Amino acid sequence: MIKQLLAASSVLCVASSALANTELEQTANYNELGDLLTASQAQGRFAWLEKCYDGLLVEVWERAFDTTQIISKEEKLNQLKALWLSPQRLAQGKAQYLTFANTDFTNPYDWHAGNSATDACSTMPPEYVPVALKTTILAHQYCDNTAFDNEWEWVSKVSIDNFTHESVGRDYTAVSGKVVTLSAGRTVSMTITPGNKEPDYPSFVAARVWIDWDQDGQFSTSEMVFKSASDGIFKFAVNVPAEQLDGVTLMRVATDAGGGSDDACNRIHYGEVEDYLVTIR
């Protein structure tokens, strides 16, 4: 019998209990598991694990299936693939895939599993485990962006109406554990709070926000909904287009003490880039 590995949310914890230094860190770590894969990349992740870590997949199979039958490794992997990557799931863009980290949901070695069978095998840190079975909800793969340096500046908090996310600061963060909900034709209030290593001497940073309104996997110049520079907190309004596609898309937030760029794909200098899942209704 198949044990219930699926969940209504897009992230399901399959690791043992996780401990973090503070409640903020634990919440942030869980919501920042990253790995925002498309259905095609989820297929590639499974193929990479088959090539490099088939024994790990067998262990996951043993958690998912309860049977005393003698089954070959090949059949076990086929059953997992049928569970996570069925034709129905792929057609709906709802493929599932494993993501990996420490049991406290951190990735101190910045190690990432492959997303293609052609990716080279790399050694997983010994303390890493499969911490989540995630479901793809984005139709497109977006361009990468990250900061060259985030030691002094980062994004501390982002708020949109009743949605708030606080983080401890990285060069890039994919907030994949919760979703911003927007309503077409409505104006929402947004706040970006920069983080600074020396809060008594805040840096003058540029902040930008892009939302992929047309859900084509790109951030066009017209989709930059905010741009400003300050040494304080940014507070502004975002107008959601009245005729807006339903579904899930991506919002990118960037702060840069080096000035930044209007191109959401250009690497920033001193700050952080954060990507948020956005659903529009």
Check whether residue 117 and residue 211 sit in a common domain. Answer: no
Planar angle of CA 175, 247, 256, nearest 5 degrees? 35
The answer as to whether 128 is a domain residue is yes
pLDDT at 254 over 50: yes
- For residue 40, the model assigns a pLDDT of 93
Per residue in 33-55, pLDDT tens? Answer: 778 899 999 999 999 999 999 99
Residue 64, pLDDT score: 82
pLDDT of residue 4: 33
85 and 56, same structural domain? yes
The pLDDT of residue 73 is 94
Asked if residue 21 belongs to a domain, the reply is: yes
For range 96-112, the mean pLDDT: 88
Would 190 be classed as within a structural domain? yes
Give the pLDDT confidence score for residue 273 in this predicted structure: 95
Question: Which pLDDT score, from 0 to 100, does residue 14 have?
Answer: 40
Of 88, 112, 135, the one marking the end of a domain is 135
Q: Which residue has the higher pLDDT, 72 or 177?
A: 72
Q: Is residue 6 part of a domain?
A: no
State mean pLDDT over 193-217. 92
Nearest to 198 by CA among 161, 233, 151, 163: 151
Distance CA 273, CA 268 (A): 8
Phi, psi of 128, rounded to the nearest 5 degrees: -80, 150
3-class DSSP state of 52: helix
Question: Residue 263's domain is classified under what CATH number?
Answer: 2.60.40
What pLDDT, in 10s, does the model give residues 19-34?
Answer: 334 555 656 666 777 7
Regarding whether 152 and 85 lie in a shared domain, the answer is no
With beta carbons less than 8 A apart as the criterion, state whether 46 and 54 touch: no
Residue 1 lies in a domain: no
> Do 66 and 158 share a domain, yes or no?
no
* Per-residue pLDDT, 54: 96
- Mean pLDDT (the chain, rounded): 86
Higher pLDDT, 176 or 185: 185
DSSP 214: T
pLDDT band per the 50, 70, 90 thresholds, residue 251: very high
179, 225 Cβ separation under 8 angstroms: no
Cα–Cα nearest to 249, from 150, 182, 166, 155: 182
Domain coverage including residue 122 = 11-135
User: Mean pLDDT over residues 234-263, rounded?
Assistant: 93
How many domains would you assign to the chain? 2
Contacts with 50 (C-beta within 8 Å, 6 or more apart), sequence order = 57, 77, 117
pLDDT digits (tens, 9 = 90+) for 93-103: 899 999 998 88
* 177 contacts 33 by C-beta, under 8 angstroms: yes
Q: What is the pLDDT of residues 264-276, one digit of tens each?
A: 999 999 999 999 9
Cα separation, 260 vs 144, whole angstroms: 15
**CB-based contact 64:45 (threshold 8 Å):** no
CB atoms within 10 A of CB 245: 13
Residue 207 has a pLDDT of 97
User: What's the chain's length in residues?
Assistant: 281
pLDDT above 70 coverage of the chain, percent: 89
What contacts 89, CB < 8 A, 6 or more positions away?
39, 95, 96
47 and 79 part of one domain: yes
Segment 196-201 mean pLDDT: 85
Q: Residue 18 pLDDT more than 70?
A: no
Last residue of a domain, one of 135, 169, 185: 135
Same domain (yes/no): 117, 164: no
| More confident site: 239 or 13 | 239
Highest mean pLDDT among 6-15, 164-173, 271-280: 271-280
pLDDT (0 to 100) of residue 168: 78
Query: Would you state the pLDDT for residue 243?
Result: 85
Helices (H), 9-52: 23-31, 39-52
Reported confidence tier of residue 107, pLDDT bands at 50, 70, 90:
confident
DSSP, collapsed to helix, strand or coil, labels residue 42 as: helix
